[in-house]
Structure 1
Amino acid sequence: MRVLIADDHDLVRETVAAFLLAEGVVEVKTAASLDEALSITDETGSFDVVLLDYNMPGMNGLDGLTRMKDANDGRPVAILSGTATRDVADAALKAGAAGFVPKTLASKSMVTAIRFMAAGETYAPFGFMQEAPAAGDGLLTKRETDVLRGICEGKSNKEIARDLDLQEVTVKLHVKTLSRKLDARNRTQAAMIARDRNLV
């Protein structure tokens, strides 16, 4: 897996790169600005995941996200931030970010998030995204909604995985995240909440 970390803070870049290398990510490149990230991608080809600091030079809000997605051949590009609000996270996800990764995320969680996005999934941390209107209002990703629909149809994780062409472990993770977002204790309760709120 090839990962590019673009952040104007040396410490953040080096720390995240060290986490990833320790966890067996094959290649990690770093950049201190959007322009540098674009030029590395141009020279070395697209990455499995790119992490862009929301506030670094050249980003110009979410314009940088669009430019990087184009440069990375449409492969996953996520926003990394230490200060952005939930509204910014929402806007980033709507603009096509593969995820929103707070810099405060524990190292293991960050590695998991990056692997998740490399597999084509969308990552957003529940705690952060729940500083929000009523749980479940627009919080579920498209994939979580697909999984929730499968739960409502009484399907097992294995059947949902087969239907959606996903790994069963990925479906389990989605069940966990959507249950937390809906404040449901288990999949049965998640299905009941989904029906009550017409979520699927």
Structure 2
Amino acid sequence: MIRVLLADDQALVLGALASVLRLEPDFDVVAEIGTGTEVLPAALRTQPDIALLDVQMPGRDGLAVTADLQRALPSCRTIICTTFSRPGYLSRALSAGASGYVVKDSRPEQLVDAIRRVHTGLRFVDPALAAEAQAAGASPLTGRETDVLRAAAEGGTVADIARELRLSEGTVRNHLSSAIGKTQARTRAEAARLAEASGWL
């Protein structure tokens, strides 16, 4: 049996995923979780083979939880199952240690196939998204530009961002200017929006 933990903050989606997977004779849904914070304790308790995680959840997002599981329970492989078919999210998920990435509008058979493949040690990425990611390339932002833009997206002033990241205000302005140029935006708010839409933040 393939033991599967499901985590999604939308109760209807969570219930639908559980129902679909329980139809498979070789799947055992061992936990249904509604927040990112609950995933690791539940995984340690139930010892799943596969964790199927949404990206955006209360507490901790699916990408952070993927990294948590890699450290604490390396025998559990992670598949991201999300509405976000963005190359940047795919790249971040794989960097965090995910073995699969499926979008929620996939056919149920594709999700089932992804779980079986990942369980055998293979990697599975939604084919359309994989092609899009290859065409898009990696994020053009440096790590520091990403940090600064993420802080700017939360509405902080240059002084706030400088304090939060322990940088000088001049350095923050330089990183913001560079990020605005790389995203071809007019303002830092637009740069943050574009970077978020691309899955770079």
User: Quick check: TM above 0.5?
Assistant: yes
The CA distance in 2 between the partners of 1:52 and 1:60, in whole Å, is 9
Q: How many residues align?
A: 136
The CA distance in 1 between the partners of 2:22 and 2:85, in whole Å, is 26
The CA distance in 1 between the partners of 2:115 and 2:134, in whole Å, is 27
Contact 1:49 1:118 (C-alpha < 8 Å) held by counterparts: yes
Contact 1:58 1:64 (C-alpha < 8 Å) held by counterparts: no
Which runs of at least 4 in structure 1 moved beyond 6 Å after TM superposition?
Answer: none
Deviations 1:54-93 (A, max 9, x none): 0011224632211122333342112121125111102211
Contact 1:9 1:32 (C-alpha < 8 Å) held by counterparts: yes
The CA distance in 2 between the partners of 1:76 and 1:132, in whole Å, is 22
Q: Tell me, what secondary structure is at the counterpart of 1:38? A: helix
Pairing 1:70–2:71 present: yes
The CA distance in 2 between the partners of 1:133 and 1:111, in whole Å, is 24
Q: How does 1:47-196 map to 2 (within 5 A)?
A: 47-60=48-61, 62-134=63-135
Distance 1:15 1:25, change over 3 A: farther
- How far is 1:39 from its partner? 1.8
Equivalent in the alignment of 1:31: 33
CA RMSD of aligned residues (A): 2.1
Q: What stretches of structure 2 of length at least 5 have no aligned partner?
A: 139-201
Contact 2:7 2:34 (C-alpha < 8 Å) held by counterparts: yes
Task: Give the structure with higher Rg (CA).
Answer: 2
Distance 1:25 1:12, change over 3 A: farther
Contact 2:49 2:75 (C-alpha < 8 Å) held by counterparts: no
Normalising by structure 1, we get a TM-score of 0.62
Pairing 1:43–2:82 present: no
Contact 1:2 1:47 (C-alpha < 8 Å) held by counterparts: yes
Normalising by structure 2, we get a TM-score of 0.61
